[in-house]
Amino acid sequence: MSLQKLTDFSTYKLSILDEQGKVDEKLLPKLSNTQLVELYSHLINLHVFDEKALKLQRQGRIGTYGSCAGQEACTVGTAYAMEKQDWTFPAFREHGVFMTRGVPMVNVFQYWGGDERGSKVESDMNCFPVAIPVGSQPLHAVGCALAMRYLKKDAVAIGYFGDGATSEGDTLEAMNFAGVFQAPVVLVCQNNQFAISEPRSLQTRAETIAQKAIAFGFEGIQVDGNDVLAVYQAMKQALEKARAGKGPTLLELYTYRMGDHTTADDSTRYRNKEELETWRKRDPIVRFKTYLTAIGVLTPALEEKIMNEAVSKVERAVQAYETMPAPSPSDMFDYMYAQLTPELAEQKKNFLAHLSRVNNASSSKSGEGPGFP
């Protein structure tokens, strides 16, 4: 009998930019000053969008909304590292992924306003719609990654999920498939410390979420999710590895959700002010701004210009969203499948007949035209 050590596992945490805006020069990604400003602009666009969306929800102009305040670097940093041909599979807090990849802001407002037409993007943008079921989209990402390899496409799939999703079987199955088949996929976990009201400490006894990748045979890295440079660098390296046929990576972006889970939540019931204030000092945008200012890339005039452009862009998107013609009720049938099934065709026929009867009855009573397009 003998006791033999079989493996020597280790995980790492990547941090480049600290809370005072100082960097580790040896780890800095190779970004030009123009790219640094562009990256900052994406962060500001997302921040302004997020604040506006919260106001619109409170005014009843969109539906329930999930804020990304405090997590801006996670989505912008990862999306900025992607190539155009890569595929993204978001959860519901990845607004920054859509907009950084070029999806019009009006689409994102549409989606949160309950108009599913907002999920329709240009075919070459390779952004799947928001997935609401917790932990379902990592499976979709791994499946897409395998399809890309089968088709010999130079594309990587990226699946986003929160720390709560790592308690779901679907996510673990996705990780197992990714490891077994060495899929060209990057699995991005936004660990914002809470699965709605459930703290991360009650979800797993593992010291990190990153180390969960070890069991499935691939690399897991914990990244300071409030450091946009570290997020970008970790994502860039993970994408390069996947593109080179060296398999998947799990990125645990260690961050914090500053707002409520959604506008239907009240986080004051399970979090305290001291915790919020601690994380407020780690704000990813303030940190990056401090660095850019220190190196002379961001001036007060440029900062004002970026903010004004972001405000203008958001207001134009709101106007476009609110003046858009209403969708046709038949859309719910026409866009469920590529080709209408016999059952749905029958339902559509009955539904439209019912609408016609209702509209005719309404018109005869009020003398007005039909109530549906």
Pairing of strands 194-195, 198-199: antiparallel
Can you give the pLDDT at residue 372? 44
Can you give the pLDDT at residue 249? 98
Superfamily of domain 12-322: Thiamin diphosphate (ThDP)-binding fold, Pyr/PP domains (3.40.50.970)
Q: Kindly list the domain boundaries of the chain, sorted by start residue.
A: 12-322, 331-366
Q: Cα–Cα distance between 91 and 188 in angstroms, integer?
A: 10
Between residues 329 and 305, which one has the greater pLDDT?
Answer: 305
Q: Which of 176, 179, 159, 161 is nearest to 219 (CA)?
A: 179
Per-residue pLDDT tens digits for 86-102: 999 999 999 999 999 99
Residue found under tokens 């009573």 = 365
Can you give the pLDDT at residue 283? 97
CA-CA-CA-CA torsion sign (109, 64, 188, 28) = positive
Question: Chain-centre distance of CA 189, in angstroms?
Answer: 10
Can you give the pLDDT at residue 288? 98
Question: ∠ CA(27), CA(33), CA(35), 5° rounding?
Answer: 85
Q: Rounded to a whole number, what is the distance in angstroms from the first to the last CA of the chain? A: 79
Per-residue pLDDT tens digits for 339-366: 999 999 999 999 999 999 998 887 766 6
Can you give the pLDDT at residue 373? 44
Measured in degrees and rounded to the nearest 5, phi and psi for residue 133 equal -60, 130
Per-residue pLDDT tens digits for 168-197: 999 999 999 999 999 999 999 999 999 999
Can you give the pLDDT at residue 361? 83
Q: Which of 82, 159, 78, 86 is nearest to 124 (CA)?
A: 86
| Longest Cα–Cα distance in the chain | 93
Between residues 2 and 175, which one has the greater pLDDT?
Answer: 175
Mean pLDDT along residues 64-88: 97
Residues known to be catalytic: 257, 261, 270
Q: Does the structure show a pLDDT above 60 at 369? A: no
Percent residues over pLDDT 90 in the chain: 87
Q: Cα–Cα distance between 49 and 101 in angstroms, integer?
A: 15
Q: Does the structure show a pLDDT above 60 at 370? A: no
Q: Cα–Cα distance between 287 and 278 in angstroms, integer?
A: 14
Per-residue pLDDT tens digits for 262-305: 999 999 999 999 999 999 999 999 999 999 999 999 999 999 99
Single pTM value for the model: 0.92
Q: Does the structure show a pLDDT above 50 at 250? A: yes
Sheet holding 12-14, edge to edge: 12-14, 219-224, 249-254, 185-191, 157-162, 87-89
Can you give the pLDDT at residue 116? 86
Mean pLDDT along residues 225-243: 98
Residue found under tokens 């602009």 = 41
- Residue 142 structure tokens: 């791994």
Can you give the pLDDT at residue 103? 96
How distant, in Å, are the alpha carbons of 70, 137, 167, 187, 191 from that of 159? 20, 6, 16, 5, 14
Q: What DSSP string runs through 299-313?
A: -HHHHHHHHHHHHHH
Quick one: 222 exposed, middle or buried, by C-beta within 10 A (0-12, 13-18, 19+)? buried
